[in-house]
A and B are shown apart, each in its own frame.
Chain A
């Protein structure tokens, strides 16, 4: 009976999974397709400027890193490109339900990391904290549930129910 209950729950997980993935994939789309100027250090729309607005009340251990990155424009650019690419990749894999557990872990770390840097911002409400906490908790949940319905992991699971094995260690990517 317990097995059946888990299956039922799994079928409702895509309700959240696609929205959660899109939060990250859309960040990639906005910067790469909609407004490429966001990735141009010469443009006033450059997202590097956002990092500057995080500074005043960022959690102090993170603040030092932000200042260091802001004082090194090349480093800042590399960081933004890498972060944008990873957001795109793991946002997409979350939507597709591919390596859902890994994607969930990575997205939870992104969300909570952002919460420590930008979490104090929110001119409408306590906006950035709400985003970081809800996305972080949701992503962590997918790390624990995986995805067994409307997902690529579902196919991988039916073919390789044991997951990946390295020696005796079983890595549950799906």
Chain B
């Protein structure tokens, strides 16, 4: 009987350990509880800006609901002091040709969304990584700039991280 009880306790500890472990891994439930399915978030790592005005906006949708959105409705290039150098609104982003958006994964592609001639923005499905080719209509002086995107909820921040990246034009 003693052996049976030891086995039972060992397996109880295994199952409980996995449950607690998954809680911590997935939600940091024992330290800083975070549910990444609540609000859309974007990561812009890999974004590049060139002096001829070409912006290769590299977006990864990293959080939010799995079945819907997010929608990027504003892309900005800012000076380090926060003044806008140039921006694209949802109207322009939604009217981009699909060929200007290059998706990393074939499933659930990011795409421009428009209703007739009214551009809405860029649909960014959860998990997708894509590059949007944008063109500023003038040359950009060498220096440091901030590239930022806004979600359709009007925010450029979620879970303590801003949807922006610092780029250098040489």
Contact = CB atoms under 8 A, between A and B. Distances in A.
Genuine A/B complex: yes
B118 interface: no
A172 to B, nearest CB: 13
Interface residues of B, number: 34
A56 B39 CA distance: 13
28 contacts: A48-B107, A49-B108, A52-B125, A52-B128, A53-B108, A53-B127, A56-B62, A56-B127, A57-B26, A57-B63, A59-B26, A71-B105, A115-B18, A116-B25, A119-B22, A120-B27, A121-B37, A122-B37, A123-B66, A126-B26, A126-B29, A129-B22, A129-B27, A136-B15, A137-B16, A140-B11, A140-B15, A144-B11
A140 B10 CA distance: 12
B140 to A, nearest CB: 31
Interface string B91-131: 00000000000000111100000000000000001111000
Most buried by A among B15, B60, B125: B15
B102 to A, nearest CB: 14
Contact of B35 (A51, A112, A126): A126
Interface of B: 1, 7-8, 11, 14-16, 18-19, 22-23, 25-27, 29, 35-38, 60-63, 65-67, 105-108, 125-128
Contacts of A73: 106
A121 B66 contact: yes
Contacts, number: 92
A120 B37 contact: yes
Given A2-B1, A56-B61, A140-B15, 12 more contacts: A52-B127, A53-B126, A56-B62, A56-B126, A112-B22, A120-B26, A120-B36, A123-B66, A129-B22, A129-B27, A133-B22, A136-B19
A137 B19 contact: yes
B14 A140 contact: yes
Nearest to B1: A2
Nearest to A134: B19
B126 A70 contact: no
Contacts of B105: 52, 70-71
Interface in A102-158: 112, 115-116, 119-123, 126, 128-129, 132-133, 136-137, 140-141, 144
Nearest to B38: A123
A146 B63 CA distance: 40
A54 interface: yes
A70 B107 contact: yes
B108 to A, nearest CB: 5
A42 B35 CA distance: 31
Chain A binding surface SS class:
helix
A132 B35 CA distance: 16
A87 to B, nearest CB: 19
A70 B35 CA distance: 24
Contacts of A122: 35, 37
A129 to B, nearest CB: 5
Contacts of B107: 46, 48-49, 51-52, 70
